[in-house]
Amino acid sequence: MHLLQQLFVIVLAFTSLEHVSIIVYAQPYTSVVAPVNKHIDTAKSLYSVEIITTLDENKHALANFLIDIEAPFIWHDCIVRWNTFATSCPSNTLCTYPVSCDEYQCDEVRTIYSYKNPSCSRDPGYSSLPGWGCTCPVNVVDPVTGSCGQAILNYDDFTMYTSDGRKVGVDAFNKFYGANPNAACAPSSSFSSFPTNVSGVMAFSSSPYALPAYLYQPLKKTFALCIPSKPSTRGVLFFGTGPYYFLPQTNVDVRSYLSYTPLLKRQDSFGYFINVTSIVIKKRTINVPVNTTTKLSTIDPYTTLRTDIYNGVLRRFSLVTKRLLPAKPVAPFGLCYSTSTTGLKVPDIEFILQNGQKWSVSTTNSIKQVTDKVACLAFVDGGATSEPAIVIGAFQFEDNFLEFDLQNSTLGFSSSLLRKKTSCANFNFTLAN
């Protein structure tokens, strides 16, 4: 070992004299990518990311995972087996290796990085695998129903495609990128409330058991999310600092559209927060009390405002849209119009952020077509004491590019890409050969 190390140092010394670049391995890719889907077959729209769960002699099994930027760890439809290489794995079942109750991961996930929910039992207990030993049950909260269930911690294996920001699979030798997180297996029945064909929750939070923490630099520094507005199109998720290109502008890096604001942390959450200092609609400011907490959520379908803030927004918005024909409000919305959003144009709702940056919510992200004839302001009253006071929901993210820089704790945001004549559905997912 010592000799090898010495040899290595000598070789390094020689090569560094000649070509420094030889010893710096440059990956041929700058990011990894995964398609993002919108699902509308549940009470609220939800979004999933498509991940390759097994990669066996070029056989891919694709699975859709709900995108949750607050979840403490990943869980999905699988079972644990200790002898996975034998014939013990039933067909059409994803088998993974268990984490033992004695391992530190079990302790950490159960005590620190767990779902916190009053409906969960304090102690998930232990279970065992015959012939192997005790496994590690963990509580999971269904993001659709809010109910608590159990899953078993495992050693998992996920694969995504590499990219240079333009294409998928940079070359034949570097088509795939694999990550090996500890996730958790839940029975198939746990996903019955999920959209069809979605069988897991992918955590993108700041928890050390969320997916970003398991990637190598420079990928783990940053992930970017661009969710589509239609179920028939695919948005995109990137890991890596960019560049990112969307058609038809093959030479415009999406980063050139971004403004940046600090991402804030909260003691009691693995989610992401920003500092909204006021809301402006057509030059008039709606007051937001100092140090109001604003959370970003991919699970809440619409932006939710505490009643005092909501009332201010509603009053101002109805004033600036008074030329539109009102309609009876459709729950959960409080302000609706007898109109179709085709051709409809309303003033922007601007979130003014710390340092004066401005996130503009334009018509496609502020007005939701509820029926053929009724469209509503897609903001919801969260109640007089709702905490966080502002939750920016997924409808407001559609066709917006969001770059979460986890190293610098900054959020890059584009506002609507439609104004730049592109959209989240414009990444070229055609697999390069």
Ligand X SMILES: *[C@@H]1O[C@H](CO)[C@@H](O)[C@H](O)[C@H]1NC(C)=O
Cβ 277 to ligand X, closest distance in Å? Answer: 5
**Nearer CB in complex with ligand X: 209/427:** 427
Burial 350-377 (b: 16+ CB within 10 A, else e): bbbbeeebebbbbbbbbbbebeeebbbb
As measured in angstroms, the least distance from the Cβ of 430 to ligand X is 4
Distance CA 322, CA 318 (A): 6
Handedness of CA 65, 162, 399, 70 (dihedral sign): positive
Q: Least Å distance between CB 78 and ligand X?
A: 15
φ, ψ for residue 149 (rounded to 5)? -140, -175
Contact (CB, 8 A) for 225 and 234: no
Torsion of CA 359, 362, 364, 369, to 10 degrees: 110
Which residue has 């710096």 as its token pair?
Answer: 24
Pull the structure tokens for residue 299. 């699970």
CA distance 333 to 395: 13
Is the torsion defined by CA of 210, 216, 220, 226 positive or negative? negative
Least separation in angstroms between residue 197's CB and ligand X is 4
Strand partners, 380: 304, 333
**Which residue's CB is nearer to ligand X, number 68 or number 381?**
68
To ligand X, the closest distance from the beta carbon of 62 in angstroms equals 3
> Residue 100 or residue 197: which is nearer to ligand X going by CB?
197
How far apart CA 44 and CA 142 sit, in angstroms, is 14
- Contacts with ligand X, residue ranges (CB under 6 A): 50, 62, 64, 167, 197, 247, 275, 277, 290-291, 354, 405, 408, 410, 428, 430, 432
Which one, 96 or 275, has the nearer CB to ligand X? 275
Between 306 and 368, CB nearer to ligand X: 306
Nearer to ligand X, 226 or 370 (CB): 226
| Cβ 39 to ligand X shortest distance, Å | 10
Q: Which is nearer to ligand X, 341 or 357 (CB)?
A: 357
Tell me the residue type at 234: R
Residue 61 Cβ, how far from ligand X at the closest point, in Å?
9
| Amino acid found at 199 | S
